[in-house]
């Protein structure tokens, strides 16, 4: 299984300490996944997992949560390295999600099956004759692109059960995105488009059209992150549409959340993952456009989560709501699996809310999660990638940045902040319109104001102790360093 949360941790390790091996591991994994059969080279998106070490033979199911977490991994890799191939992969995944996984209501569907016509992978596989005839008839060098996509006359696909070759091929390449000339890239895109259009005529795998609060929360998080990292406002619009659906149709009058929605009907009491993942999406929406309504919603849902899921005795969060009375045992875990655990994501939510608001009860609840996991963290650190990727908020490099000024005056400052990989930093934006709402959420911001004669000012703080204010992009860049 892809483990994007571990990639996020490796990127942070490199950022924190300069560990070149951590960066090499992260980049090699990202490149090989993009090259392998686990990546859909025609329609984009990642399949669920690979059955081999080369990322070649996938289980062809596509899961929404995998797309979300891998968008985050490739986006952060781009933020850190500025390598275009990572941005391109993130944007390609988003293209797939917005094209194929979006409901008319604005939410995101859960998955696409591996099977079509009763056979796993049938939709995605090609035999050499079909491939060659299609390209040749359309004026392309079929041999060249058969080599590029690693097709073999006898096929490169082996049945997972029998291990026998079927004569069919999984499209894959020998490396990540190759360095091609503009003309070569244009022709490659024309070939991809031709193959994709032809494939669309096939019978598609079944689509699981449930809209799940937790998985939508992860996708909101990913789209909002990509929107401000890449300057793509359409990604923010899609994230906001999903968030609006969840708030309007999945959030109940008593503050609780429902888990699932299908055919206009929402049902099933939410678990901690639903709250934690959706809160994380709301916090990222605030970071993307500084709408304080998202912070208000995040704070409200966090209060509900603490009242109904938090273990007041030993710390941490239970999986189920205290109101759910049909369970013999309330389980509690922070172990990451194919997707991160709700408790690990809640840990980051609490630390972000502490940094944003200055309210120490959030930090205390985060400490409670850590204290409840001491022995497990020491024994199995690799099982806690998501949680460990957030501990930087507690360190000396965890920062609060408050930008004061109207949107038109702060555009260049926000762009400078958006261009940087600062995973342990929260950013607040105070304008005349948002000042009162921000004061209610983060009382300390009352004292962060524009000096006389200035139209913009930036306060860069560590643990709420601030350096001298700065007023220009160059001053901010110098203060932040690399």
Residue 292 shares a structural domain with residue 428: no
pLDDT tens profile 339-391 = 999 999 999 999 999 999 999 999 999 999 999 998 899 999 989 999 999 99
Question: In terms of domains, do 237 and 336 share one?
Answer: yes
User: Which range has the worst mean pLDDT, 46-50, 291-295, 397-401, 469-473?
Assistant: 397-401
- Distance of alpha carbon 343 from alpha carbon 333, whole angstroms: 7
- Please give, one letter per residue, the 3-state secondary structure of the chain: CCCHHHHHHHHHHHHHHCCHHHHHHHHHHHHHHHHCCCECCCCCCECCEECCCCCCCEECCEEHHHHHHHHHHHHHHHHHHCCHHHHHHHHHHHHHHHHHCECCCCCEEEEECCEECCEECCCCCECHHHHHHHHHHCCCCHHHHHHHCCCCCCCCCECCCCCCECCCECCCCCCCCCCCCHHHHHHHHHHHHHHHHHHCCCCCCCEEEEEEHHHHHHHHHHHHHHHHHHCCHHHHHHHHHHHHHHHHHHECCCCCEEEEEECCEEEEECCHHHHHHHHHHHHHHHHHHCCHHHHHHHHHHHHHHHHHHECCCCCCECCCCCCCCCCCCCCCCCCCCCCCCHHHHHHHHHHHHHHHHCCHHHHHHHHHHHHHCHHHHHHCHHHHHHHHCCHHHHCCCCEEEEEECCHHHHHHHHHHHHCCCCCCEEEEEECCCCHHHHHHHCHHHHHCCCCCCCCCEEEEEECCEECCCECCHHHHHHHHCC
Note whether 256 and 310 are same-domain residues: yes
Q: Are 72 and 213 found together in one domain?
A: yes
Q: Are residues 220 and 79 in the same domain?
A: yes
Q: Is the pTM of this model over 0.95?
A: yes
- Taking alpha carbons only, the member of 363, 412, 419 closest to residue 391 is 363
Of 26 and 332, the structure prediction assigns the larger pLDDT to 26
Assign residue 373 the CATH number of its domain: 1.50.10.10
At 328, is the pLDDT very low, low, confident or very high (cuts 50, 70, 90)? Answer: confident
Which residue do the tokens 């991994």 mark? 73
> Which of 394, 416, 451 is the last residue in one of the domains?
394
Tokens of 240: 């906001």
Q: How confident is the model at residue 176 (pLDDT cuts 50, 70, 90)?
A: low
For 233-286, the pLDDT digits (tens) are 999 999 999 999 999 999 999 999 999 999 999 999 999 999 999 999 999 999
Shared-domain flag, residues 178 and 228? no
The answer on 90 and 27 residing in a single domain is yes
The pair of three-digit structure tokens given for residue 98, joined into one six-digit string: 């917005």
- Per residue in 223-234, pLDDT (tens digit) is 999 999 999 999
Q: What is the pLDDT of residues 393-423, one digit of tens each?
A: 987 778 999 999 999 999 999 999 999 999 9
Residue 163 has pLDDT above 90, yes or no: no
Per-residue pLDDT band for 465 (boundaries 50, 70, 90) equals very high
Which pLDDT does position 398 carry in this prediction? 87
Q: Which domain holds residue 196?
A: 124-200
Identity of the highest mean pLDDT range in 147-161, 317-331, 406-420 = 406-420
Residue 458 is predicted with a pLDDT of: 98
Q: 87 with 144, same domain?
A: no
233 and 316 part of one domain: yes
**Under 8 Å between Cβ of 38 and 52:** no
What percent of the chain has pLDDT above 90?
87
Domain co-membership, 140 together with 98? no
Longest dimension (CA), the chain: 76
Which of 394, 423, 442 is where one domain is finished?
Answer: 394
On whether both 131 and 243 belong to a single domain, the answer is no
Mean pLDDT of the 139-164 span? 90
Mean of pLDDT values over 437-464: 96
Q: Among residues of the chain, what percentage have pLDDT more than 70?
A: 99
Please, what is the average pLDDT of the chain?
95
Judgement on whether residues 304 and 358 belong to the same structural domain of the protein: yes
In this predicted structure, what is the pLDDT of residue 179? 65
Total domains in the fold of the chain:
3
Question: Which tens digit of pLDDT belongs to each residue from 331-352?
Answer: 998 899 889 999 999 999 999 9
Last residue of a domain, one of 156, 180, 200: 200
- State residue 359's pLDDT score: 97
For residue 326, the model assigns a pLDDT of: 86
| pLDDT the model gives residue 178 | 66
């Amino acid at each position: 299984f892809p483990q994007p949360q571990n990639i996020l941790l490796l990127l942070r390790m490199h950022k924190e300490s300069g560990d070149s091996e951590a960066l090499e591991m992260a980049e090699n994994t990202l490149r090989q996944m993009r090259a392998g059969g686990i990546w859909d080279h025609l329609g984009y998106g990642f399949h669920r997992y690979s059955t081999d070490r080369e990322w070649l033979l996938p289980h062809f199911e596509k899961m929404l949560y995998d797309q979300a977490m891998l968008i985050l991994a490739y986006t952060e890799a781009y933020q850190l390295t500025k390598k275009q191939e990572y941005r391109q992969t993130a944007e390609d995944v988003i293209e797939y999600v917005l094209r194929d996984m979006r409901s008319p209501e604005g939410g995101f569907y859960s998955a696409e099956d591996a099977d079509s016509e009763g056979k796993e992978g049938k939709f995605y596989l090609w035999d050499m004759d079909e491939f060659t005839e299609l390209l040749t008839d359309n004026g392309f060098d079929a041999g060249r692109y058969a080599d590029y996509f690693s097709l073999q006359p006898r096929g490169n696909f082996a049945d997972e059960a029998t291990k026998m070759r079927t004569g069919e091929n999984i499209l894959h390449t020998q490396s990540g995105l190759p360095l091609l000339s503009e003309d070569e890239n244009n022709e490659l895109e024309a070939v991809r488009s031709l193959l994709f259009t032809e494939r669309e005529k096939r019978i598609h795998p079944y689509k699981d059209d449930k809209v799940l609060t937790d998985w939508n929360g992860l996708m909101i998080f990913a789209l909002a992150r990509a929107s401000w990292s890449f300057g793509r406002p359409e990604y923010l619009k899609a994230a906001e549409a999903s968030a609006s659906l969840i708030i309007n149709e999945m959030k109940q009058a008593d503050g609780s959340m429902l888990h699932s929605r299908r055919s206009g009907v929402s049902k099933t009491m939410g678990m901690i993952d639903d709250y934690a993942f959706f809160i994380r999406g709301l916090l990222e929406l605030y970071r993307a456009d500084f709408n304080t309504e998202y912070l208000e919603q995040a704070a409200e849902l966090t209060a509900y989560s603490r009242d109904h899921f938090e273990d007041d005795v030993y710390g941490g969060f239970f999986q189920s709501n205290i109101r759910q009375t049909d369970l013999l045992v309330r389980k509690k875990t922070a172990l990451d699996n194919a997707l991160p655990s709700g408790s690990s994501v809640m840990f980051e939510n609490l630390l972000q809310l502490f940094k944003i608001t200055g309210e120490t009860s959030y930090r205390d609840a985060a400490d409670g999660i850590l204290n409840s996991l001491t022995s497990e963290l020491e024994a199995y650190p690799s099982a806690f990638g998501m949680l460990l990727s957030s501990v930087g908020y507690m360190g000396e490099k965890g920062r609060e940045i408050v930008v004061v000024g109207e949107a038109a005056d702060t555009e260049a400052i926000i762009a400078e902040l958006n261009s940087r990989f600062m995973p342990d930093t929260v950013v607040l934006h105070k304008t005349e319109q948002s000042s009162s709402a921000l004061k209610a959420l983060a009382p300390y911001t009352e004292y962060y104001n524009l000096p006389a004669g200035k139209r913009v000012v930036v306060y860069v703080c560590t643990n709420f102790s601030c350096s001298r204010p700065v007023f220009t992009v160059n001053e901010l860049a110098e203060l932040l360093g690399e």
